[in-house]
């Protein structure tokens, strides 16, 4: 705790000195999420709110694709990510060349790309989506079929909810792919009445067994709205920690999986990021314009 307090004090002072703000994803640890972040949310909220930022420096407490999205939407601002190793198994599952090959294989079929990808992959896509708007984005295109990259499970979960034909890729989230329907059955037996919320990056048979599926913000909203006496969030561990703070009346059952990438961000490296201006996110101008267009097209929906 003493070092937390020192780091928190230093970060608050550095934010003022540098005219900086911190965007934090829902999977950040509570001391980041509750003590130093200015804007928190799911990937969609962070992208939307990034557009409205007035500060000159944006520190992204999240993973690299989130920092790239913030930079795409704020090309004239300094965007920092405290640890360059904060990646994502979905972003690593596909390259720009893979997207070009998909386009050649399915001529005329629009490409919807999850924001959990590199800017280079976004640049080859027609439009982006997040877990919070994937179905709406797919249906907005008015096409009988779309290619949905790179999360196989998100694509299959959306396919179950729409008449649009979905052609999927084979990427997986290393955190959510580990949940199983047997986990849910065991939880229901051990915690009678527990309400199960699953992120749509979970396998389809997990989503089917759950009571509700939605983005991290949708899960948080569900708890706020329904106030279930007992709930389990089938997602990253910090999510329950962060939501539980506002809901002492709700019992959070805590089996969860850690995202090693999200956990690379700490108070200590946020402080260093602000002190030493690192690591600055830069996007090749040759791809930034096209990647921005895919993100902005999503935000216009
Ligand atoms: P959300 O957009 O639902 O916050 O999800 C982001 C993510 O990385 C989930 O694993
Ligand atoms: Fe990527 Fe999964 Fe971590 Fe989200 S939880 S950043 S999708 S690896």
* Complex-level ipTM: 0.97
How much is the pLDDT for 104?
98
Ligand 1 mutation pick, 24, 28, 39, 42, max ligand atoms within 8 A of CB: 42
Please report, for the chain, the start and end positions of each structural domain, with discontinuous segments joined by +. 2-87+263-282, 91-172, 176-258
Residues of the chain with pLDDT under 50: none
Of all residues in the chain, what percent are helix, strand and coil, respectively (each to 5)? 45, 15, 35
Closest ligand to residue 64's CA: 2
DSSP 108: T
Cα–Cα nearest to 269, from 41, 61, 37, 45: 61
Q: 294: Cβ below 6 Å to ligand 1?
A: no
How much is the pLDDT for 241?
96
Binding-site annotation: residue ranges for [4Fe-4S] cluster:
88, 173, 259
How much is the pLDDT for 50?
87
The whole model's pTM is what? 0.96
Binding-site annotation: residue ranges for iminosuccinate:
25, 43, 114-116, 131, 199-201, 216
Asked, colleague to colleague, whether 91-172 and 176-258 share their fold, the answer is: yes
How much is the pLDDT for 139?
98
- Third-level CATH fold of 2-87+263-282: Rossmann fold (3.40.50)
Burial 51-77 (b: 16+ CB within 10 A, else e): eebebebbbbbbbbbbbbbbbbbbeeb
The correct answer on CATH 3.30.420.130 for the domain covering 176-258 is: no
| CATH architecture, domain 91-172 | 3-Layer(aba) Sandwich (3.40)
């Amino acid at each position: 705790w003493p070092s937390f307090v020192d780091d928190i004090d230093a970060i608050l002072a550095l934010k003022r000195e540098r005219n900086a703000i911190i965007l934090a994803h829902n999977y950040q640890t509570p001391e980041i999420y509750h003590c130093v972040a200015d804007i928190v949310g799911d990937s969609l909220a962070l992208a939307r709110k990034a557009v409205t930022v007035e500060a000159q420096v944006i520190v992204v407490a999240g993973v690299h694709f989130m920092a790239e999205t913030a930079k795409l939407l704020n090309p004239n601002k300094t965007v920092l990510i405290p640890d360059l190793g904060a990646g994502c198994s979905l972003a690593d599952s596909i390259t720009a060349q893979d997207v070009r090959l998909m386009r050649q294989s399915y001529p005329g079929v629009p490409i919807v790309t999850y924001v959990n990808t590199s800017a280079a992959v976004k640049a080859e896509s027609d439009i982006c989506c997040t877990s919070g708007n994937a179905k709406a984005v797919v249906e907005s295109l008015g096409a009988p079929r779309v290619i949905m990259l790179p999360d196989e499970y998100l694509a299959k979960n959306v396919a179950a909810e729409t008449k649009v034909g979905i052609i999927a890729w084979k990427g997986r989230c290393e955190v959510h792919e580990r949940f199983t329907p047997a986990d849910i059955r065991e939880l229901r037996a051990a915690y009678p009445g527990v309400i199960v919320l699953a992120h749509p990056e979970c396998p389809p048979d997990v989503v089917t067994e759950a009571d509700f599926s939605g983005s991290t913000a949708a899960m948080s909203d569900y708890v706020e709205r329904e106030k279930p006496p007992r709930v389990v969030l089938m997602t990253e561990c910090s999510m329950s920690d962060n939501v539980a703070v506002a809901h002492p009346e709700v019992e959070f059952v805590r089996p969860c999986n850690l995202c090693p990438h999200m956990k690379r961000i700490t108070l200590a490296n946020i402080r260093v990021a602000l002190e030493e201006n690192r690591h600055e996110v830069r996007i090749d101008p040759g791809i930034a314009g096209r990647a921005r267009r895919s993100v902005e097209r999503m935000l216009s929906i």
